C-alpha cells in the first residue's frame, strides 16, 4: 500500500493517564522518554503500526495569553544596582546606609515576585493554563517557577541579613559574607534575562 500508516500520535492534557489507559485496554507496551512528556508505543503487532503518546498542543498558546512583564523585569534588574550599592556601603562601614539600600533590594525583589504570582493567577484562573494543560504550560511553569523559587530563597536570605542589620548585629567585618549573597542575587537576575528572552521574546 503506497499510503500505509506506519506511525501514529495520540495527544491529551495528561499523557501518562492516556498511556496507562491504552496499555490496559489494548495491551500496548509503553516506553516513557523521561526528558520530555512523551511515551513510545509498541503495539506488539510485529511489523505493524507503532507510535507515541504526548501532551496535546491544544490549549492556550503564548502569543494569546502572555503579557510581557516589563515593569516587574525593570524592578528585578534594578535590584542588582541597589544590592551592589548596599555591598559597597557595608564594605565602607556605613551600616545605616547599607540597611536602606538592602531594604530597597528586598522591596524590588518582592515586587517582582508579586508580579510573577499575579501573572500565574491570571493564567490559571482566567486563561485556564496550568502545568498540565499542554507543552507550553509545562515549559512556562517549569522555567518561570524554578526562577521564582530561587528569587524566594534569595529574598529569605536578604530578609535574614536585614534583621541582623537592624538588630545591630551586622558590621563591617561581615562585608565578605554580604558580597557572597550579593553575587547570588546578581546570578538570579542574570538567569531572569535568559528566561525572559526564551519565554517572552522567543516564545511569543
pTM for the structure as a whole: 0.72
DSSP code, position 37 = T
Contacts of 174 (CB under 8 A, 6+ apart): 90
Class of domain 7-55: alpha beta
- pLDDT tens string, the chain, 204 residues long: the values are 455 556 777 766 667 777 887 787 678 888 888 766 788 888 876 656 788 877 666 777 787 899 999 999 999 999 999 999 999 999 999 999 999 999 999 999 999 999 999 999 999 999 888 988 887 888 899 999 999 999 999 999 999 999 999 999 999 999 999 999 999 999 999 999 999 998 998 876
Q: Which residues contact 156 (CB under 8 A, 6 or more apart)?
A: none
Sketch the domain layout of the chain as residue ranges. Answer: 7-55, 62-202
Rounded to whole angstroms, how far apart are CA atoms 79 and 87?
12
| CATH code that applies to domain 62-202 | 1.20.120.80
- CA distances to 3, 18, 78 from 108, rounded to whole Å, are 60, 44, 7
Per-residue pLDDT at 136: 84
Would 7-55 and 62-202 be classified into the same CATH topology? no
Q: What single-letter DSSP state applies at residue 173?
A: G
Q: Residue 50 and residue 29: Cα distance in Å, rounded? A: 10
Q: Would you state the pLDDT for residue 166?
A: 93
The conformation of residue 68, written as its DSSP 8-state character, comes to -
CA distance linking residue 161 with residue 176, whole number of Å: 13
CA distance 10 to 55: 8
Q: Quick one: CA torsion of 59, 65, 69, 70, rounded to 10 degrees?
A: 130
Give the neighbor-by-neighbor strand order of the sheet with 38-42. 7-12, 50-55, 38-42, 29-33
Amino acid at each position: 500500500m503506497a499510503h500505509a500508516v506506519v506511525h501514529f500520535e495520540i495527544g491529551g492534557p495528561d499523557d501518562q493517564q492516556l498511556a496507562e489507559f491504552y496499555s490496559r485496554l489494548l495491551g500496548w507496551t509503553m516506553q516513557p522518554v523521561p526528558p520530555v512528556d512523551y511515551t513510545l508505543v509498541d503495539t506488539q503487532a510485529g511489523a505493524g503500526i507503532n507510535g507515541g503518546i504526548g501532551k496535546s498542543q491544544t490549549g492556550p498558546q503564548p502569543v494569546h495569553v502572555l503579557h510581557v512583564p516589563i515593569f516587574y523585569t525593570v524592578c528585578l534588574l534594578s535590584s542588582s544596582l541597589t544590592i551592589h550599592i548596599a555591598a559597597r556601603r557595608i564594605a565602607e562601614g556605613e551600616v545605616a546606609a547599607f540597611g536602606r539600600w538592602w531594604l530597597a533590594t528586598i522591596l524590588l525583589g518582592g515586587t517582582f515576585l508579586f508580579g510573577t504570582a499575579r501573572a500565574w493567577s491570571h493564567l490559571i484562573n482566567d486563561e485556564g493554563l496550568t502545568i498540565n494543560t499542554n507543552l507550553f504550560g509545562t515549559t512556562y511553569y517549569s522555567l518561570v517557577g524554578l526562577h521564582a523559587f530561587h528569587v524566594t530563597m534569595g529574598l529569605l536570605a536578604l530578609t535574614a541579613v536585614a534583621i541582623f542589620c537592624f538588630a545591630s548585629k551586622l558590621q563591617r567585618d561581615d562585608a565578605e559574607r554580604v558580597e557572597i549573597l550579593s553575587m547570588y542575587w546578581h546570578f538570579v537576575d542574570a538567569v531572569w534575562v535568559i528566561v525572559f528572552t526564551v519565554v517572552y521574546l522567543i516564545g511569543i
